[in-house]
Amino acid sequence: LIPQHLLKPFDERELELVIGGLGTIDLQDWKSNTRLKHCSPETPQVTWFWNIVTRYDEEMRARLLQFVTGSSRVPLQGFKALQGSTGAAGPRLFTLHLVDVDVKNLPKAHTCFNRLDLPHYPSEEIMSDKLTQAVEE
């Protein structure tokens, strides 16, 4: 249907966004249905993460979601219905996991588990730069 030469400029993630379009991502639903590992809602890095996501436009939010879960779309039932790709029954919530690694590292995504490993970045600015770099690569 679409000539192959028109698809070549896109990787599979970009193509999903082009074909599927951008939906509206409900930040409150996302936040309410996020599991925290080795951190709490009051941990500075968690606060910074949500500040950064709030500043992102819809495209960057979709790209972040795609980076962590493998899909840029939220299930019809919302974030509480996110599925992992491990074959396990039931939902697998979006998870923020603070990890003890060098803060020069980029955040690491585990799409099978819908988990984002975040180093203990010393500032929101550094976290924003690293997170944006990871999502855009």
Q: Which residues are catalytic?
A: 112
DSSP states of the chain: ---HHHHTT--HHHHHHHHH------HHHHHHTEEEES--TTSHHHHHHHHHHHHS-HHHHHHHHHHHHS-SS--TT-GGG---SS--SS---EEEEEE-S-TTSPPEEETTTTEEEEE--SSHHHHHHHHHHHHH-
CA dist 68 → 8, 29, 49, 65, 97 (Å): 24, 16, 13, 5, 12
